[in-house]
Structure 1
Amino acid sequence: MSFDLDAFCTGLTAASSSSEQAVCALQTIVAGVSKTVGGIDAEGITAGVDTFFLIFAGALVFMMQAGFAMLCAGSVRQKNVKNIMLKNLLDACGGAIGFYTVGFGFAYGGDDTTDKTFIGNSYFALRDYTNYAGFFFQFAFAATAATIVAGTVAERCKMSAYLCYSLFLTGFVYPVVVRSVWSSNGFLSAFSADPFQGVGTVDFAGSGVVHMTGGLTALIAAIVLGPRKGRFYDEDGNPLETPASFPAHSVALQILGTFILWFGWYGFNPGSALKIANADSAATAALCAVTTTMAAAAGCVSAMFTDSIIDGMATGETTYDLTMAMNGCLAGLVAVTAGTSVVTPWAAIIIGVVGGWVYIGMSKLLIKLKIDDAVDAIPVHFANGFWGVLATGLFANGGLMATAGYNSEHEGWFYEWGSGSGDGSLLICQLACLAWIIGWVTTIMTPFFILLNMAGMFRVDPLEEEVGLDISHHRGSAYDLSGPSKDHVDELMEIRASKHGKVEVPKEVAQAADDAAEETA
């Protein structure tokens, strides 16, 4: 005889035991039903669980700022560590101010109508908006988009220029892209009353909206700003036969930053379900956790071993590059972000593998074109953001799209091609999204950076660049590398010699003392 849980819960009273009430409340949450059961406010519990989930996911996304800071700090030379870390900190601050004052309103203002509009016109400074958890989550995304640019232009960009484009990006450029794809009023949105091509663009967590927007901004900035001194040209301006490499000053910080970013991605992708207290949202968030993991692992292995094979064929020696492994991992994460909720784990692996190859190809292309990206953010974010949006149009599964809240009648082109049905509507939407982001960001940010450069606000003085931005802009080096003075070392050795006979000065101590003496002189 089966047990009718619904009938049992309907018959509960305030006198029922607390355990019976708790069981029925949980059943109500799982079923997604909003009502009061036996004196327990199930609707309030559901809202509380969803709010906690969103705040927690937003905190994980915000934690990615620390990941970016560590990755960038480890990737640049020691003389520029303070500068890049301050820029990462100011990304969060500038992103908060810019997105709060106007950015969020441009992105989501006016969403109480069904009209498709280019830009929002309300909710500025959160006026008449009370979903604070939703704002916090979206702010964390905006700060991420701005931070992508920091690493690319590291070691040669003025602080004033950085503040200008950080505010401009989070306050205007990025919000317009957000509105077009994520707002119910966006012309490419899958959530509008009349979506483009009947399905709209599927960019679940922002391969295009966040990463491609930030990565393309970084590409434009790098082209206008120019390469670091000595990277591609000698002091006389002649091209180097082999581009100079500037080794990372701390691989330990790089790997720490990579792991923090991977960890934060579990807020980025599963958190984009926005809710957790119903069966479909819970299933979507769980799938996102798995596809995120598999794409990251596949991208890491793909990039590292592909690079090892290429290098081994060229040199006859097989080596394993940690930088390739780290950036391949991040490439896989960026690539799967668009379709993380609508692709199966095996498809996520394919997306990650190709993402590793995309990273290698774009990284080598930038060097060939003499475009200097200090941390390889353009191949990771722009190139793989592009691939991620495109891959969703190929691999999106109809059943998973329905669970995630999308129109399942139009699925990925590979599925449609395999079944001999469909019209490629989703793939068309994905291509339209790619064209729109490239067109919008290029049109707005290119003249912006050119004007900054013409005004002398973009690039630091060559001498300041040579000395390092920590000393020229931030009152000293990030590390205290001074050793004991030579006089003190000599005095110590004389005292010890008087007691124990001749004492040899350790080579490293003597060298440090000599260096200190030279600096004093």
Structure 2
Amino acid sequence: MANFSCSADLAPLLTGSPNATAAAAYICNQFDSVSAKLTDTTFAIDTTYLLFSAYLVFAMQLGFAMLCAGSVRAKNTMNIMLTNVLDAAAGGLFYYMFGFAFAFGAPSNGFIGRHFFGLKSFPAPGFDYSYFLFQWAFAIAAAGITSGSIAERTQFVAYMIYSAFLTGFVYPIVSHWFWSSDGWASPTRADNLLFDSGVIDFAGSGVVHLVGGIAGLWGAVIEGPRIGRFGQAGRSVALRGHSASLVVLGTFLLWFGWYGFNPGSFLNIAKAYGGTANYYGQWSAIGRTAVTTTLSGCTAALTTLFGKRLLSGHWNVTDVCNGLLGGFAAITAGCSVVDPWAAIICGFVASCVLTGFNKLAEKLKYDDPLEAAQLHGGCGAWGIIFTSLFAKKQYVNEVYPGRPGRPYGLFMGGGGKLLAAHIIQILVIIGWVSATMGPLFFVLHKLKLLRISPEDETQGMDMTRHGGFAYVYHDEEDHPKTFAMNRVEPATRTPNSDYA
């Protein structure tokens, strides 16, 4: 209130008061106190919203763990769950020490951040601890994607090395390019926007999903397929996961967490957009984002359901779950700037993209137990293209304000500049991740630190590397006789038993 000379303007209106100046000062101080309280409350609401979103995104780690566990054979269950724990734990330390600084350490150049190592000088204007936690949850999600591609044949030390490198360096650089206000392709730069637009990758179809998918692709290619995945004649042999129940549980946990992943990327909720409708603001855009996320996933699930029925002749719950997640990965880039009807198109095409890449992987003898490269890489790339085609002018200007005339979706009349920027995003992410993670996996392979021995792979890593099975018993077909556990049967009842 002081900026408007409250006391000086109010005093003449209180001429009947014994001390008009003092009365005016008192009233204005009360207004100032109320204003400060409202400001504090707004910060508290926005911080609570961001923290809650961070918790939802972190809950996706449990979803990844359950999905991965159900998608591998029983003899490798403990191994894959331990790698998911390590993704979060190692990722937490390395993102704290280096990753956040490389990603958001402002001021910086367009390529890499250079402040806040170890959260030094934190909090700072525009950056609080809640923001770090939210971004860390995203970083470990990228590492979790990669772990699925190389499951069932990777040494534990390799998991630790690649997870630290990905979350501490590779992923943060990409997030700096597209999400930091200093990034060379960020839509929030003050000037010199890429194609007058920057890249609209709102929640990370490219930054998270394409990065994780390409990293996993290189790991799986360099390691080669699992033993028995392709027969001597090159025929594909399905090595099915051992628990559809865990796959479904993991899928629903990921679905739940995606409501923090996409809507939470607004970072705050108490923000009005103006206009005549006072009920419309950022809270409405957040609701719309949750709706587009839902519709894309649902459409992809149903498309996969009927598509697989036509191709294979049966209804497959695992394929439907992967289709659902593919729809989510695709909508993640444009969830905030497209209409709900466009999200249905996104999900439909995402299902087709996933099915097509799975067929291609089979022909090329590429083995990915969780279809992670096809799902997150392929559908993530489609999501980037989709956004550049269907981004709506009104929503783009609301989410990225301050630049009238900003390009928007090609099919919505916004020209081709946004599409050009997004094609560049796909190319630079593929190039950067290939140039960093590819050599890392290759060096680990040459040092014999990447793949386990054929004997360990045949017996299962739970027994050979982790001291025992995850379950009380296993099917003998999954394990050599020397390691098979027999089912424990109930004791035989005797004729004199009280329960006979």
TM-score class, shorter: 0.7 to 0.9
Give the superposition deviation at 1:498: 6.9
Work out the CA distance in 2 between the residues paired with 1:485 and 1:48.
55
Q: Are residue 298 (structure 1) and residue 299 (structure 2) matched? A: yes
Partner of 2:309: 308
- Residues 134 and 499 of structure 1: CA distance in aligned 2, closer, same or farther (over 3 Å): closer
Partner of 1:158: 155
Work out the CA distance in 2 between the residues paired with 1:83 and 1:391.
37
Partner of 1:79: 75
Partner of 2:449: 457
Give the superposition deviation at 1:427: 0.7
Give the alignment partner of residue 219 of structure 2, picking from 195, 214, 221: 221
Work out the CA distance in 1 between the residues paired with 2:377 and 2:35.
52
| Gap regions ≥5 residues in structure 1 | 1-9, 12-34, 313-318, 417-421, 504-521
Give the alignment partner of residue 209 of structure 2, picking from 208, 211, 234: 211
Give the superposition deviation at 1:409: 2.8
Partner of 2:411: 414
Q: Are the counterparts in 1 of residues 107 and 115 from structure 2 also a CA contact under 8 Å?
A: no
Q: Are the counterparts in 1 of residues 187 and 400 from structure 2 also a CA contact under 8 Å?
A: no
Q: Are residue 56 (structure 1) and residue 59 (structure 2) matched? A: no
Q: Are residue 370 (structure 1) and residue 365 (structure 2) matched? A: yes
Q: Are residue 138 (structure 1) and residue 139 (structure 2) matched? A: no
Q: How does 1:53-452 map to 2 (within 5 A)?
A: 53-109=49-105, 111-112=106-107, 116-130=109-123, 131-194=128-191, 195-233=193-231, 238-240=232-234, 242-279=235-272, 280-312=281-313, 319-405=314-400, 407=403, 409-416=406-413, 422-452=414-444
Work out the CA distance in 2 between the residues paired with 1:469 and 1:283.
49
Work out the CA distance in 1 between the residues paired with 2:353 and 2:299.
13
Work out the CA distance in 2 between the residues paired with 1:87 and 1:409.
43
Give the superposition deviation at 1:98: 1.0
TM-score (norm 2): 0.86
Q: Are the counterparts in 2 of residues 36 and 43 from structure 1 also a CA contact under 8 Å?
A: no
- Residues 228 and 133 of structure 1: CA distance in aligned 2, closer, same or farther (over 3 Å): same
Work out the CA distance in 1 between the residues paired with 2:218 and 2:285.
35
- Residues 485 and 184 of structure 1: CA distance in aligned 2, closer, same or farther (over 3 Å): closer
Give the superposition deviation at 1:117: 2.5
SS at match of 2:344: helix
SS at match of 1:41: helix
CA displacement 1:46-69 (0-9 Å, x = unmatched): 000000000000000000000000
Give the superposition deviation at 1:369: 0.6
Q: How does 1:494-505 map to 2 (within 5 A)?
A: 496-497=494-495
Give the superposition deviation at 1:480: 1.2
- Residues 450 and 499 of structure 1: CA distance in aligned 2, closer, same or farther (over 3 Å): closer
Q: Are the counterparts in 2 of residues 359 and 384 from structure 1 also a CA contact under 8 Å?
A: yes
Give the superposition deviation at 1:499: 7.4
| Gap regions ≥5 residues in structure 2 | 1-8, 11-30, 273-280, 474-484
Aligned residue identity for 1:357:
C
Partner of 1:29: none
Give the superposition deviation at 1:306: 1.4
Work out the CA distance in 2 between the residues paired with 1:183 and 1:259.
31
Percent identical across equivalent pairs?
42
Give the superposition deviation at 1:252: 0.5
Work out the CA distance in 2 between the residues paired with 1:457 and 1:323.
31
Give the superposition deviation at 1:239: 3.5
SS at match of 1:227: coil
Work out the CA distance in 2 between the residues paired with 1:397 and 1:498.
79
Work out the CA distance in 1 between the residues paired with 2:144 and 2:340.
29
Work out the CA distance in 2 between the residues paired with 1:193 and 1:415.
25
Give the superposition deviation at 1:483: 5.3
Q: Are the counterparts in 1 of residues 146 and 215 from structure 2 also a CA contact under 8 Å?
A: yes
- Residues 485 and 273 of structure 1: CA distance in aligned 2, closer, same or farther (over 3 Å): closer
SS at match of 1:290: helix
Give the superposition deviation at 1:377: 1.0
Give the superposition deviation at 1:191: 0.7
Work out the CA distance in 2 between the residues paired with 1:425 and 1:499.
82
Q: Are the counterparts in 1 of residues 206 and 333 from structure 2 also a CA contact under 8 Å?
A: yes
Give the superposition deviation at 1:122: 1.1
Work out the CA distance in 2 between the residues paired with 1:282 and 1:497.
70
Work out the CA distance in 2 between the residues paired with 1:480 and 1:323.
24
Partner of 2:37: 41
